[in-house]
């Protein structure tokens, strides 16, 4: 049989196939080969005669896989920031976007807490030319419906700094309230982690599923190398091959098409600053 791992706890993997969830163990050969099933994996399994004899026998090829949190086959990242409380940090937002670009996923940019007077207009100006942007907040049902439409039929995950409201968005997407919303520390204005393990929830009959994970709040961007970074910024990647030098990194080289586009207002200065900081980080 074939199914999707929706949860893994204490050596058991819960595999959804059709309308049924089976509790499985992984076959011993996986451990010998250094392979571990992840939430989100598409697998083949054999149903045993007894309750604990159902075995995952094969992990099908992955679209992508992440270490922290350990999940696989994310189709779409919803990169979340708050308009206010906590204040958006553009460099951090761009790291999440680069992560999603490298993973080969679709991207939706979600601005939460838009019911507060914050920096939503600035954020829209920077990111709306690049990705679908939705605005969310208390009483803003239109934005929530738009988000549901953008992730329909996909395995989606929320990524963003702690405290931006990912838990609240998850609760609103799923009528059964998936998790307790973490309180915000007055001192740090950051959320307290409430999720202890990764789980994949089905949201509708169209196959839309959403990861509830304890992670995607911090990571190391240096998995990207100097040659590929420009392509993880779509507005910079379009100028690849148009500079004087084929190996131009768009920093201080002469006759750089990216620097010219920046001067002409075709690339947002904050995005270029993020690119430059990351390139310098990679190459130092």
Task: Supply the pLDDT for residue 222.
Answer: 53
Task: Supply the pLDDT for residue 88.
Answer: 96
CATH 1.10.150.120 fits 2-61, yes or no: no
Question: What residues pair up with 3 in beta bridges, in sequence order?
Answer: 43
Spell out, as residue ranges, where the chain has pLDDT lower than 50: 177, 179-195, 220-221
Among the listed residues 47, 52, 110, 107, the one whose alpha carbon sits nearest the alpha carbon of residue 83? 110
| Residue 66 DSSP symbol | E
Task: Supply the pLDDT for residue 140.
Answer: 87
Average pLDDT, the chain: 89
State whether the Cα torsion 210-215-219-225 is positive or negative. Answer: negative
For 71-83, the pLDDT digits (tens) are: 999 999 999 999 9
Question: Do 71-212 and 222-283 show the same overall fold?
Answer: no
- Which H or E run contains 90? helix 90-103
Do 257 and 243 meet the contact criterion of CB atoms below 8 Å apart?
yes
Could you say which of 3.20.20.110, 3.20.20.10, 3.40.50.300, 3.30.70.3040 is the CATH number of the domain covering 71-212? 3.40.50.300
For residues 99 and 20, what is the distance between their CA atoms, to the nearest angstrom? 33
β-strand pairing of 76-82 with 106-112: parallel
For 10-51, the pLDDT digits (tens) are: 999 999 999 999 999 999 999 899 999 999 999 999 998 876
Cβ neighbours of residue 170 closer than 8 Å, sequence gap 6 or more = 158, 178, 179, 210, 212
Based on DSSP, count helices (H) and strands (E) in the chain, helices before strands: 8, 13
Task: Supply the pLDDT for residue 283.
Answer: 87
For residues 275 and 281, what is the distance between their CA atoms, to the nearest angstrom? 10
For residues 212 and 156, what is the distance between their CA atoms, to the nearest angstrom? 9
Could you say which of 3.40.190.10, 1.10.490.10, 1.10.3370.10, 1.10.40.50 is the CATH number of the domain covering 222-283? 1.10.40.50
DSSP string, 191-240: BPP---S-EEEE-STT--EEEE-S-SS---GGGS-TTTGGGGSHHHHTTT
Task: Supply the pLDDT for residue 136.
Answer: 96
Question: What residues pair up with 58 in beta bridges, in sequence order?
Answer: 44
For residues 222 and 108, what is the distance between their CA atoms, to the nearest angstrom? 23
Domain spans in the chain, listed from the N-terminal domain onward: 2-61, 71-212, 222-283
């Amino acid at each position: 049989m074939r199914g999707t791992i929706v949860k893994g706890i204490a050596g058991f993997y819960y595999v959804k196939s059709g309308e049924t969830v089976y509790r499985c163990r992984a076959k011993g050969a996986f451990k010998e080969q250094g392979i571990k099933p992840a939430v989100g994996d598409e697998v083949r399994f054999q149903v045993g005669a007894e309750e604990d004899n159902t075995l995952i026998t094969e992990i099908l090829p992955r679209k992508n896989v992440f270490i922290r949190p350990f999940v696989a086959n994310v189709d779409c990242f919803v990169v979340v920031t708050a308009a206010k409380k906590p204040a958006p940090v553009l460099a951090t937002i761009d790291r999440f976007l680069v992560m999603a670009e490298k993973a080969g996923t679709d991207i939706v940019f979600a601005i939460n807490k838009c019911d507060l007077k914050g920096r939503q207009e600035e954020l829209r100006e920077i990111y709306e030319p690049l990705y679908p942007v939705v605005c969310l907040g208390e009483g803003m049902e239109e934005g929530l419906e738009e988000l549901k439409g953008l992730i329909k039929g996909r395995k989606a995950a929320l990524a963003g700094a702690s405290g931006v409201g990912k838990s609240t968005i998850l609760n609103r997407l799923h009528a059964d309230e998936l998790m307790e919303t973490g309180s915000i520390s007055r001192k740090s204005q950051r959320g307290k982690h409430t999720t202890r393990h990764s789980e994949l929830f089905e949201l509708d009959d169209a196959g839309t599923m959403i990861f509830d994970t304890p992670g995607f709040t911090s990571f190391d961007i240096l998995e990207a190398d100097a040659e590929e970074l420009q392509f993880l910024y779509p507005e910079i990647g379009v100028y690849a091959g148009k500079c004087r030098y084929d190996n131009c990194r768009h920093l201080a080289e002469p006759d750089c098409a990216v620097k010219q586009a920046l001067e002409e207002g075709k690339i947002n200065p904050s995005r270029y600053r993020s690119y430059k900081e990351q390139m310098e980080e990679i190459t130092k």
